[in-house]
Chains A and B, each alone.
Chain A
Protein backbone atom coordinates (compact mmCIF):
# COMPACT_ATOMS: atom_id res chain seq x y z
CA UNK A 1 0.00 0.00 0.00
CA UNK A 2 2.03 2.84 -1.39
CA UNK A 3 1.92 6.45 -2.54
CA UNK A 4 2.63 7.46 -6.12
CA UNK A 5 3.07 10.86 -7.74
CA UNK A 6 0.92 9.99 -10.76
CA UNK A 7 -0.74 7.18 -12.69
CA UNK A 8 2.30 7.09 -14.97
CA UNK A 9 4.55 6.40 -11.98
CA UNK A 10 2.19 3.61 -10.85
CA UNK A 11 2.35 1.98 -14.26
CA UNK A 12 6.14 2.28 -14.40
CA UNK A 13 6.49 0.74 -10.94
CA UNK A 14 4.13 -2.14 -11.71
CA UNK A 15 5.97 -2.84 -14.96
CA UNK A 16 9.36 -2.72 -13.24
CA UNK A 17 8.23 -4.90 -10.32
CA UNK A 18 6.17 -7.33 -12.38
CA UNK A 19 2.87 -6.59 -10.67
CA UNK A 20 -0.49 -5.98 -12.30
CA UNK A 21 -1.86 -2.44 -12.11
CA UNK A 22 -4.65 -2.34 -9.55
CA UNK A 23 -7.40 0.24 -9.02
CA UNK A 24 -6.03 3.70 -8.35
CA UNK A 25 -7.26 5.50 -5.26
CA UNK A 26 -7.36 9.28 -4.86
CA UNK A 27 -6.13 10.93 -1.67
CA UNK A 28 -9.64 12.04 -0.70
CA UNK A 29 -10.81 8.42 -1.07
CA UNK A 30 -7.85 7.26 1.01
CA UNK A 31 -8.84 9.69 3.76
CA UNK A 32 -12.29 8.11 3.71
CA UNK A 33 -10.74 4.69 4.16
CA UNK A 34 -8.47 5.94 6.95
CA UNK A 35 -11.37 7.49 8.85
CA UNK A 36 -13.58 4.43 8.41
CA UNK A 37 -10.89 2.08 9.73
CA UNK A 38 -9.23 4.14 12.40
CA UNK A 39 -11.24 7.09 13.71
CA UNK A 40 -12.37 5.08 16.76
CA UNK A 41 -9.26 2.92 17.10
CA UNK A 42 -8.16 4.47 20.40
CA UNK A 43 -11.59 4.04 21.97
CA UNK A 44 -12.75 0.99 23.96
CA UNK A 45 -15.61 0.11 21.63
CA UNK A 46 -13.57 0.16 18.44
CA UNK A 47 -13.46 -2.87 16.18
CA UNK A 48 -12.35 -3.67 12.69
CA UNK A 49 -15.07 -3.43 10.00
CA UNK A 50 -16.66 -6.75 9.16
CA UNK A 51 -16.89 -7.91 5.51
CA UNK A 52 -20.35 -6.48 4.83
CA UNK A 53 -19.31 -3.20 6.43
CA UNK A 54 -16.13 -3.17 4.38
CA UNK A 55 -18.09 -3.57 1.17
CA UNK A 56 -20.37 -0.68 2.16
CA UNK A 57 -17.41 1.54 3.02
CA UNK A 58 -15.67 0.77 -0.25
CA UNK A 59 -18.83 1.27 -2.29
CA UNK A 60 -19.53 4.57 -0.54
CA UNK A 61 -16.14 5.79 -1.71
CA UNK A 62 -16.69 4.54 -5.25
CA UNK A 63 -14.41 1.51 -4.79
CA UNK A 64 -16.26 -1.40 -6.33
CA UNK A 65 -15.44 -4.65 -8.08
CA UNK A 66 -13.85 -7.94 -7.06
CA UNK A 67 -10.58 -6.29 -6.00
CA UNK A 68 -12.40 -4.61 -3.12
CA UNK A 69 -14.51 -7.61 -2.11
CA UNK A 70 -13.08 -8.90 1.21
CA UNK A 71 -14.56 -12.33 0.59
CA UNK A 72 -13.94 -12.72 -3.11
CA UNK A 73 -12.80 -16.23 -3.91
CA UNK A 74 -12.70 -15.73 -7.64
CA UNK A 75 -10.14 -12.98 -7.81
CA UNK A 76 -7.37 -14.93 -9.43
CA UNK A 77 -4.81 -12.18 -9.79
CA UNK A 78 -3.19 -12.17 -6.39
CA UNK A 79 0.08 -10.51 -5.53
CA UNK A 80 2.07 -13.11 -7.42
CA UNK A 81 4.27 -11.40 -9.95
CA UNK A 82 3.13 -11.63 -13.55
CA UNK A 83 5.46 -12.38 -16.42
CA UNK A 84 5.64 -9.60 -18.97
CA UNK A 85 5.16 -11.27 -22.33
CA UNK A 86 6.26 -8.20 -24.27
Chain B
Protein backbone atom coordinates (compact mmCIF):
# COMPACT_ATOMS: atom_id res chain seq x y z
CA UNK B 1 0.00 0.00 0.00
CA UNK B 2 1.25 3.49 -0.79
CA UNK B 3 2.51 6.20 1.46
CA UNK B 4 -0.41 8.25 0.15
CA UNK B 5 -2.82 5.71 1.65
CA UNK B 6 -1.07 5.81 5.01
CA UNK B 7 -1.23 9.61 4.93
CA UNK B 8 -4.94 9.47 4.14
CA UNK B 9 -5.50 7.12 7.08
CA UNK B 10 -3.44 9.29 9.40
CA UNK B 11 -5.33 12.43 8.41
CA UNK B 12 -8.68 10.66 8.76
CA UNK B 13 -7.73 9.49 12.26
CA UNK B 14 -6.56 12.92 13.36
CA UNK B 15 -9.55 14.71 11.84
CA UNK B 16 -11.90 12.29 13.61
CA UNK B 17 -10.23 12.99 16.95
CA UNK B 18 -10.32 16.74 16.28
CA UNK B 19 -13.99 16.71 15.34
CA UNK B 20 -15.27 14.39 18.06
CA UNK B 21 -12.67 14.07 20.84
CA UNK B 22 -12.94 10.27 20.54
CA UNK B 23 -10.98 7.58 18.76
CA UNK B 24 -12.40 6.27 15.51
CA UNK B 25 -13.03 2.62 14.76
CA UNK B 26 -11.20 1.02 11.84
CA UNK B 27 -14.57 0.81 10.09
CA UNK B 28 -15.11 4.56 10.41
CA UNK B 29 -11.69 5.24 8.94
CA UNK B 30 -12.30 2.68 6.18
CA UNK B 31 -15.41 4.61 5.21
CA UNK B 32 -13.45 7.85 5.09
CA UNK B 33 -10.64 6.54 2.92
CA UNK B 34 -12.76 4.19 0.78
CA UNK B 35 -10.91 1.03 1.75
CA UNK B 36 -11.65 -2.06 3.77
CA UNK B 37 -10.94 -2.30 7.49
CA UNK B 38 -8.09 -4.78 7.00
CA UNK B 39 -6.22 -2.29 4.84
CA UNK B 40 -6.78 0.36 7.50
CA UNK B 41 -5.36 -1.94 10.18
CA UNK B 42 -2.29 -2.58 8.06
CA UNK B 43 -1.84 1.19 7.79
CA UNK B 44 -2.26 1.48 11.57
CA UNK B 45 0.67 -0.91 12.04
CA UNK B 46 2.89 1.07 9.68
CA UNK B 47 1.91 4.31 11.41
CA UNK B 48 2.76 2.70 14.73
CA UNK B 49 6.21 1.88 13.42
CA UNK B 50 6.59 5.54 12.47
CA UNK B 51 5.53 6.58 15.99
CA UNK B 52 2.44 8.31 14.64
CA UNK B 53 -0.07 6.06 16.44
CA UNK B 54 0.01 3.85 19.52
CA UNK B 55 -2.36 0.88 19.46
CA UNK B 56 -3.96 -1.09 22.25
CA UNK B 57 -2.88 -4.70 22.74
CA UNK B 58 -5.74 -5.77 20.46
CA UNK B 59 -3.91 -4.13 17.55
CA UNK B 60 -7.19 -2.53 16.50
CA UNK B 61 -8.02 0.24 18.95
CA UNK B 62 -6.07 3.48 18.96
CA UNK B 63 -4.58 4.25 22.37
CA UNK B 64 -2.78 7.40 21.27
CA UNK B 65 -2.74 9.66 18.27
CA UNK B 66 -0.57 12.23 20.01
CA UNK B 67 -1.60 14.66 21.40
CA UNK B 68 -5.02 12.96 21.48
CA UNK B 69 -5.74 10.03 23.78
CA UNK B 70 -8.14 7.27 22.84
CA UNK B 71 -8.82 6.53 26.50
CA UNK B 72 -9.87 8.69 29.43
CA UNK B 73 -7.05 10.42 31.30
CA UNK B 74 -6.67 13.06 34.01
CA UNK B 75 -5.77 15.66 31.36
CA UNK B 76 -8.96 17.11 29.86
CA UNK B 77 -9.05 19.82 27.20
CA UNK B 78 -12.16 21.67 26.09
CA UNK B 79 -12.13 23.58 22.83
CA UNK B 80 -14.85 24.64 20.46
CA UNK B 81 -17.49 22.77 22.43
CA UNK B 82 -15.62 19.47 22.20
CA UNK B 83 -13.97 17.67 25.12
CA UNK B 84 -10.67 15.85 24.56
CA UNK B 85 -8.41 13.63 26.63
CA UNK B 86 -4.67 14.22 26.36
CA UNK B 87 -2.00 11.58 26.91
CA UNK B 88 0.08 13.67 29.30
CA UNK B 89 0.77 17.20 30.47
CA UNK B 90 2.75 18.01 27.32
CA UNK B 91 -0.08 16.77 25.12
CA UNK B 92 -2.62 18.72 27.18
CA UNK B 93 -1.07 21.87 25.71
CA UNK B 94 -0.49 20.06 22.43
CA UNK B 95 -4.22 19.79 21.76
CA UNK B 96 -4.88 23.55 21.60
CA UNK B 97 -1.63 23.87 19.61
CA UNK B 98 -2.85 21.27 17.11
CA UNK B 99 -6.40 22.59 16.91
CA UNK B 100 -5.22 26.20 16.81
CA UNK B 101 -8.23 27.13 18.89
CA UNK B 102 -8.66 28.70 22.32
CA UNK B 103 -8.99 25.97 24.90
CA UNK B 104 -9.27 25.25 28.59
CA UNK B 105 -6.91 22.64 30.01
CA UNK B 106 -7.90 20.92 33.24
CA UNK B 107 -5.61 18.59 35.10
CA UNK B 108 -4.12 18.22 38.58
CA UNK B 109 -0.94 18.30 40.60
CA UNK B 110 0.22 14.70 40.68
CA UNK B 111 1.42 15.02 44.27
CA UNK B 112 -1.18 17.18 45.99
CA UNK B 113 -4.16 16.62 43.73
CA UNK B 114 -4.68 20.39 43.49
CA UNK B 115 -6.75 21.15 40.40
CA UNK B 116 -5.12 22.92 37.50
CA UNK B 117 -6.95 25.12 35.04
CA UNK B 118 -5.08 26.76 32.19
CA UNK B 119 -6.88 28.96 29.71
CA UNK B 120 -4.96 28.79 26.45
CA UNK B 121 -5.29 31.46 23.79
CA UNK B 122 -3.56 32.01 20.49
CA UNK B 123 -0.42 33.12 22.32
CA UNK B 124 -0.51 30.19 24.71
CA UNK B 125 -1.48 29.94 28.36
CA UNK B 126 -1.38 32.94 30.64
CA UNK B 127 1.28 33.30 33.33
CA UNK B 128 1.42 30.27 35.60
CA UNK B 129 3.84 29.08 38.25
CA UNK B 130 2.92 25.42 37.77
CA UNK B 131 5.62 23.05 36.56
CA UNK B 132 6.02 20.14 34.18
CA UNK B 133 8.15 17.16 35.12
CA UNK B 134 9.06 13.99 33.24
CA UNK B 135 11.05 11.14 34.78
CA UNK B 136 12.05 9.56 31.46
CA UNK B 137 15.01 10.99 29.49
CA UNK B 138 14.27 12.00 25.89
CA UNK B 139 16.31 9.14 24.45
CA UNK B 140 14.00 6.65 26.19
CA UNK B 141 10.59 8.21 25.64
CA UNK B 142 9.49 5.64 23.07
CA UNK B 143 10.84 2.63 24.97
CA UNK B 144 7.47 2.68 26.79
CA UNK B 145 5.52 5.65 25.53
CA UNK B 146 2.48 4.88 27.66
CA UNK B 147 4.61 5.08 30.83
CA UNK B 148 6.41 8.18 29.55
Give A contacts to B, CB under 8 Å.
1-7, 9-10, 12-14, 16, 19-22, 24-31, 33-35, 37-39, 41-42, 44, 48, 54, 58, 66-73, 75, 77-79
Contacts and interface: CB of A to CB of B under 8 A. Distances in A.
Contact of A6 (B87, B92, B131, B148): B131
Interface stretch (B22-30, B32-40, B102-110): B102-110
Contact of B133 (A10, A16, A77): A10
B7 A5 contact: no
Contacts, number: 166
B135 A10 contact: no
Chain B: interface secondary structure? Answer: mixed
Given A31-B125, A54-B138, A37 B133 contact: no
B72 interface: no
B110 A26 contact: no
Contact of B89 (A3, A20, A24, A41): A3
A38 B124 contact: no
Contacts of A14: 133, 135
Contacts of A54: 138
A30 B97 contact: no
Contacts of B91: 1, 34, 38
Nearest to B8: A44
A69 to B, nearest CB: 6
